Amino acid sequence: MAEAKYGAPSGAFQPHDEVHGLRASAGPVLDLVIPVFNEVAGLEASVRAVCAYLEDTLPFTWRVTIADNASTDGTHAVAGRLAAELPQVRVVRLEAKGRGRALSTVWSTSDAQVLAYCDVDLSTNLSALLPLVAPLVSGHSHVAIGTRLARSSRVVRGPKREFISRSYNLLLRTSLAARFSDAQCGFKAIRADVARELLPLVQDTGWFFDTELLVLAERAGLRIHEVPVDWVDDPDSRVDIVATAMADLKGVIRVGRELMSGALPLREIGQHLPLVGDSQTRIVQGVVVPPDAPPQTALLHQLVRFAVVGIASTLAFALLFLLLRGPMGAQAANFSALLLTAIANTAANRRVTFGFRGSTNAARHQGQGLLVFFFGWALTSGSLALLTATAPTAPHSVELAVLVIANLAATVLRFVLLRRWVFRPRPAATPTGARATLEPTGARAETHLTEGALRLLLPPAP
């Protein structure tokens, strides 16, 4: 392995080697990884082009890492020669294939403060690199991605790949409630502190690595910055589209199952990864809330999760009612079944639908959930009383059908009350000297450069 030597770039810019919120390290600010597999033909030209661009453009220290992904041609020899000649290039050799494995290995051991990667074919124009990493250096965002699907992106590729790309990202939006626009563009960056938290949770070592990392980051409430890119398809790409698509589908199912289980500590990760302005209060739905309030999840995402919890609760209610109907009578069985399922339903919605973890405010949530339960009980009991008054000899199956319908109506009412009352952000007094800002937590970040980033981009005053 060739060791990197760090040097400040030349030109009018003066280097600023501190990333907002991170301690300055002995390594460079940026480590740009280029994963390669059997790229002996084009590797040298691409690496020299990248280094020349970084030397002329970046106002901070940088390094290029060639991640040799178990190449079997002369790629490693070319990479070693480049590392020996160019002081800001190093090589990492891996004995197993997989783009995700290469990125995870290099990023996990890098001493840089911002980690990025680009494809060796340079399909993405490098002019988007500084806008990609600037929000991470400034502390405004946690992750940054290039997108080929923005209106201002300029993309040259065939209709087949265009259809596949848009279909895949649509699948992510419908199945995993993803809000980022382009999961597979080979042009991404992440803060080192974020990578240290998320990489141990990412299981995929292939092409799905990018998607899994982005989904976990978004579910943790981290801010994902998007940059429209200019992109030209590589006609010599050796990616097996069918095999990659099947692996991606398996990955979507696996990640969806893990998210539904609630086993991943994503909320805890989001809570201790600060950004610029995180010490300020926010305004959500017209209410001033503290910075540690849980993120507001998209309505559609909440509805899907609430529906899953609601279906399970309805089935549990029906089973309990049938079991208790004989020994207790209809009204008592209805009340008992509703009470037991309401307690479990509130706990499940608190964790799964609205993203609350831990015991903070759990008792208050359960208390308000019980009040919501009494509304539902009044609705179902009234329906049962009306059935008894109009059809006293109705069979148990009719009773059950009426109660299930009434319970579904009560479920709609329950969602509205849970979202707008029980789990609504609580008002908090604005601290003295603090400034309330309108900040959509977890939303896709627009291009925004703080004063720190402007200092990076502008030459010092004479």
Q: Give CA–CA dist 413/377, Å, rounded.
A: 12
How many Å separate Cα 317 from the centre of its chain?
A: 34
Tokens of 433: 């000297």
Q: Cα dist. 270→22, 86, 215, 219, 264 in Å?
A: 16, 38, 13, 9, 12
Question: What are the catalytic residues?
Answer: 210
- Cα Rg, the chain, nearest whole Å: 27
- CB contact set of 454 (below 8 Å; sequence gap of 6+): none
Q: List the one residue out of 89, 94, 117, 104 whose CA is nearest residue 28.
A: 89
Strand-pair category, 143-147 with 187-191: antiparallel
Find where tokens 């065939």 sit: 158
Tell me the one-letter amino acid at 386: L
Dihedral in degrees, nearest 10, Cα atoms 441, 444, 445, 447: -170
Find where tokens 């610029």 sit: 276
Please enumerate, as own/partner, the contacts of 449-452 that have beta carbons within 8 Å and a separation of 24 or more: 449/134, 449/135, 449/138, 449/140, 450/20, 450/138, 450/139, 450/140, 450/276, 452/20, 452/137, 452/138, 452/139, 452/276
Q: For 292, phi and psi rounded to 5 degrees? A: -95, 10
